[in-house]
Chains A and B, each alone.
Chain A
Amino acid sequence: MAVKNRLPAINNGQPIRGKRLRKHPSRQDSIVNRIIDGSVNIESEKEFENLLEIFPNEPSLHRAFADLLVKNNSREAADDAYEQSVDLFIEAGRILPAIVAKILKWRIVRPLNKEGRNFYAVVRDCKFIDKPLNRFLSGLSYHEFVAILLKMVPCRFLGDTIIKRPGDIENYLYLVAGGAVSEITLSRSTISSGSNGRRRTDLTESDFFGSIYPFEQEQISHTQVGTITNVEVVKISKPDLIKISRKYGDMGLKVEKLYRWRDESDDECATQIIRKTVRHQLPTRVYMKVFEATAGSLPLLIEGFADDISSGGACVVIGEQYRFGPPNAMVDKNVKLEVVLSNAAVRLAILGRIVWGKGIFLEGKKSVAIGVRFTEMTDNDRELLHEFCSGSEGEQNLIWSLWESMVK
């Protein structure tokens, strides 16, 4: 397993353009999100499957699994996993990641015309997150949609990478499919005077950058765009867009609208106080007894915190002081968890099985994350856990965003 830069995850909710993101989120970032964004790599298909059993509705996790399957030449399974992620992305109103997953799926097996039409219908009817790019994509005609998809080039950038510099010729429209980038705008006077009057905007999923409209003008970049996190973008070249708009007369107007909607949306955002932050899950104190297979041996007692907890399982992060060999040595062991919930006076007692283990770096320290699938708990504990886990990601995100902007 490799540990890369720590990153905030793709936001499931409605990221807001124009606000600053934290570059180094605190430990409350979910382990699952770190797997999704690529900062923690899982290289075993079995471990991924175990993880997906715990978090079956996380589209990005299915997508990451599909990528792994492609890497391992399991093309048929990858095809299924991409399709699963497409469905879940669409359900969540996240059009662009759905399109990217679909493009990757179609790289495995070329689609039939009918499949293309079906996907177009799904995108058009999708209850999408209201962002200019989503409006643009869902408003295309079938032929425009296909033409655009054929010219989309998905690419990935590591964190702290410059994608576009001031002075570059604007030749691409970049659509952010995942991760976060910062766009620093320098006014002409700023460039010439070298002063520090700059405006920074953070862009996340379904935002876009690159100034390629009007098509007839050659434009020089006045912005520097760099990645804050590992990022997946989709780029479409200006010449390709020009060709499409020559073929389909409305395309130019639609691209113009896309930019206009973004400018209007920026104006609205300027009045908001909410900052987009990554998804957080409150760390929950966990005491764990790991039972050895050998009869008579005492269980290993471990204290840690659950970074992610659901009614099906938890990712538990434990300190390096618990030395028990490689992290995956714990896989398949039975455990008894005592979970200390903030909303309950009692500790929940849950039986489970370790399904994966990974070494990670957390706040600069070596730690181990293990995935536990719950096997048994009382109805009362189940109810308490459900209560603890209730509250949607959007609600949690908003609380944390407001906390950061209003109190912290």
Chain B
Amino acid sequence: MKEENTQKKDAVPVVWAVGGGKGGVGKSVISTLLAFWLVRMGKRTILVDMDLGGANLHTLLGIKSPERTLNDFVTRRYSALEDICIPTPEKKLRLISGASEILSLSNPHFSQKVKIIKNIFKLDADYVILDLGAGTSFNVLDFFLFAHKRILVVTPQPISIQNAYGFVRNAVYRRLSQICNQKPSLQMLVKTAMDPKNDLKVRTIKELFAVIEESGDFETAKILKNEIARIKPAVITNMVKDPREKNAGRIVQLVAEKYLMLHPVDYGSVAYDKQIYSMVSGMVPLTKLNQSSDALAGAYEIATRLL
């Protein structure tokens, strides 16, 4: 038994990041439903509310006022993320709340971000799910990129699809920019390529790689291609009311394949569930969700595929 415990502490948790660009697409609900299934499959799971400017994940779990939050970690009141985990009504599921009174935490400094990332890997859990905030700020993208599994939530609305695609697009360029940070000329090229109306006429990632190869730097081009291929987001279409709407995730997949040389995987859909909507509006914890919920069933299919 002792040996088992030691083994658990040494193992790095598998990190899933749930993003999507747009607010209101159900990132927190999806994060929570996936967490429910992970714990029911026996996985010790920690949900982390990374919406640092507007954390609300605790309310979905029926926690009114979290006693410890990420603030306490960043301000060094606690030295380890492990110490700010709080229990939830679900056995084996813990929460790190992002509830923030310090507005500056909505945009943490580089050192704060690195500290959070390092400590996430030290958490004593099998799985850590990061519920990312809306938008495509560098911080959100960085938390998305460092995860083992990058989950993109999209709803069947054009704006959501555009935002989800924009999110992936920015993530790709962010990654490229990070890799090239030791090569200023290359980094400048990547930054130029990000502007869709750039003077170099580099319109796609493919064209960007072609430009790099034309300069004779085949090795860098190869490294960049491999890095981009590794991003491979898992796309989930949420709030589906009609079978055709399941294709929303497929759209992100197709456009990303064509323009970004990226191969997102369509992990399926979660049905629109009126019950969830009322629960969220009424601040009723999702732990009380009816087990026959279609959304819960959809999340189960996705969780098993993601494992």
Complex contact A399–B136 (CB within 8 A): no
Q: Given A393-B196, A394-B259, are A403 and B251 neighbors across the interface (CB < 8 Å)?
A: yes
Q: Which B residue's beta carbon lies closest to that of A389?
A: B196
User: What mask results when residues 167 to 199 of chain B are scored 1 for a CB within 8 Å of chain A, else 0?
Assistant: 001100000000000000000000000111100
Residues of B contacting A387 in the complex (Cβ-Cβ under 8 angstroms)? 136, 166, 170
Q: When chains A and B are docked, how far (Å) is the Cα of A395 from the Cα of B170?
A: 13
Q: Mark contacts of B231-273 with chain A using CB atoms, 8 A cut-off: 1 yes-contact digit, 0 otherwise.
A: 0000000000000110110110011001100000000000000
| The residue from B23, B170, B248 contacting A407, defined by CB atoms under 8 A apart | B248
Please, which residues of chain B bring their CB within 8 A of the CB of A345? 23, 53-54, 134-135
Query: Which stretch in B92-100, B144-152, B157-165, B213-221 binds the other chain?
Result: B157-165
**A140 interface residue per 8 A CB criterion:** no
Q: How far is the CB of A346 from chain B (nearest CB, A)?
A: 10
Q: Given A387-B170, A396-B162, check contact A407 B251 (CB 8 Å).
A: yes
The answer to the question of B13 belonging to the interface, with a C-beta cut-off of 8 Å to chain A, is no
Please measure, in the bound complex, the distance between the C-alpha atom of A406 and the C-alpha atom of B237, giving whole angstroms: 14
Contact between B163 and A343 (Cβ–Cβ < 8 Å)?
yes
Residues of B in contact, count (CB < 8 Å): 35
Q: Does B22 belong to the interface (CB within 8 Å)?
A: yes
Is B109 engaged at the interface, CB distance under 8 Å to the other chain?
no
CA distance A128 to B244 in the complex (A): 35
Q: Could you say which of A127, A398, A407 contacts B247, with CB atoms under 8 Å apart?
A: A407
- Could you say which of A282, A387, A406, A407 has the most chain B C-beta atoms within 10 Å of its C-beta? A407
Question: Contact at A343–B22, with CB atoms within 8 Å?
Answer: yes
Q: How far is the CA of A391 from the CA of B194 in the complex (A)?
A: 8
Q: Which residue of A lies closest to B242 (CB)?
A: A407
- Chain B residue nearest in CB terms to A402: B251
- The residue on A at minimum CB distance from B246 is A407
Nearest neighbor of B244 in chain A, beta-carbon distance: A407
| B254 touching A398, Cβ below 8 Å | yes
Closest beta carbon of chain B to A309's beta carbon, Å: 13
Q: Is the CB of A392 within 8 A of B196?
A: yes
Q: Do residues A342 and B194 form an inter-chain contact, with CB atoms below 8 A?
A: no
Chain B residue contacts of A406, Cβ below 8 A:
244, 247, 250-251
Contact B169 A390 (CB under 8 A): yes
| Cβ distance A327 to chain B, nearest Cβ, rounded Å | 29
Assess the B166–A343 pair: CB atoms within 8 A. Answer: yes
Q: How many residues of A contact B (CB 8 A)?
A: 26
Interface of A is mostly: helix
A160 within 8 A of B: no
Q: How far is the CA of A408 from the CA of B204 in the complex (A)?
A: 27
Instruction: Please give the distance in Å from A396's CB to the nearest CB on chain B.
Output: 7
Please tell me if the beta carbons of A407 and B245 are within 8 angstroms of each other in the complex.
yes
A97 to B14, CA, bound (A): 54
B156 proximal to A (CB < 8 A): yes
Chain A hits for B197, CB < 8 A? 57, 392
Q: Decide yes or no whether A305 CB sits under 8 A from chain B.
A: no
Q: Which residues of B contact A398 (CB under 8 A)?
A: 254-255, 258-259
Closest A residue by C-beta to B54: A345
Q: Determine whether the beta carbon of B250 is less than 8 Å from that of A344.
A: no
Best-buried of B21, B156, B203, B255 by chain A (most CB within 10 Å):
B255
Contact of B194 with A390 in the complex, beta carbons under 8 Å: yes
**Whole-angstrom CA separation of A342 from B194 in the bound complex:** 19
Interface residue A400 (Cβ < 8 Å from any Cβ of B): yes
Instruction: Indicate with 1 or 0, residue by residue over A26-50, a CB within 8 angstroms of chain B CB atoms.
Output: 0000000000000000000000000
List, in ascending order, chain A residues with CB within 8 A of B165's CB.
Answer: 391, 395, 399
Contact A343 B136 (CB under 8 A): yes
A91 at interface by CB-CB < 8 Å: yes
Q: Which residues of A contact B259 (CB under 8 A)?
A: 392, 394-395, 398
Q: Are B196 and A402 in contact (CB under 8 A)?
A: no
Whether the Cβ atoms of B196 and A403 lie closer than 8 Å is: no
Are A399 and B194 within 8 A (Cβ)?
Answer: no
Residue of B nearest to A398 (CB): B255
Q: Which residues of chain A from 174 to 199 have any CB-CB distance to chain B below 8 Å in the complex?
A: none
With known contacts A91-B201, A345-B54, A390-B166, A402–B255 Cβ distance under 8 A:
yes
Residue on B nearest A392 in the bound complex, by CB: B196
State how many angstroms separate the Cβ of A69 from the closest Cβ of chain B: 25
Find chain A residues with CB under 8 A from B136 CB.
Answer: 343, 387
Q: Which residue of B lies closest to A92 (CB)?
A: B201
A392 is contacted by which of B163, B203, B254 (Cβ under 8 Å)? B203
Q: Which residue of B lies closest to A310 (CB)?
A: B197
Rounded to whole angstroms, the CA-CA distance of A264 and B156 in the bound complex is: 35
Report A-chain residues with C-beta under 8 Å of the C-beta of B22.
342-343
In the assembled complex, the Cα of A391 lies from the Cα of B258 at a distance in Å of 13
Query: A391-B169, A407-B248 given as contacts; is B255 within 8 A of A282 (CB)?
Result: no
Partner of A399, one of B23, B53, B161, B245: B161
For B195, the chain A residues whose CB sits under 8 A away are: 386, 390
Contacting pair A390 B135 (CB below 8 A)? no
In the complex, A306 Cα to B289 Cα: how many Å?
A: 41
Complex: how many Å from CA A219 to CA B281?
A: 68
* Minimum Cβ distance to chain A for residue B76 (Å): 27
Find out whether the CB atom of A391 lies under 8 angstroms from the CB atom of B135. Answer: no
Check A403–B158 contact: CB distance below 8 A.
yes
Q: For the complex, what is the distance from the CA of A343 to the CA of B53, rounded to whole Å?
A: 14
User: Could you name 17 residue pairs across A and B whose Cβ atoms are closer than 8 Å?
Assistant: A91-B201, A127-B201, A342-B22, A343-B22, A343-B135, A343-B136, A345-B135, A387-B170, A390-B196, A392-B197, A394-B259, A395-B255, A402-B251, A402-B254, A403-B158, A406-B251, A407-B156
- Other A-B pairs beyond A399-B255, A403-B158, A406-B244, 15, CB < 8 Å: A342-B22, A342-B162, A343-B21, A343-B136, A343-B166, A345-B23, A390-B166, A390-B194, A396-B162, A398-B258, A398-B259, A403-B161, A407-B156, A407-B251, A408-B244
Q: Residues on B close to A: CB < 8 A?
A: 21-23, 53-54, 134-136, 156, 158-159, 161-163, 165-166, 169-170, 194-197, 201, 203-204, 244-245, 247-248, 250-251, 254-255, 258-259
Write the residues of chain A forming the contact surface with B, with a CB cutoff of 8 angstroms. Answer: 57, 91, 127, 282, 342-345, 386-387, 389-396, 398-400, 402-403, 406-408
Task: Give 10 closest A-B pairs by Cβ, nearest first.
Answer: A392-B196, A406-B247, A402-B251, A398-B255, A407-B247, A395-B259, A342-B159, A392-B203, A403-B158, A407-B244
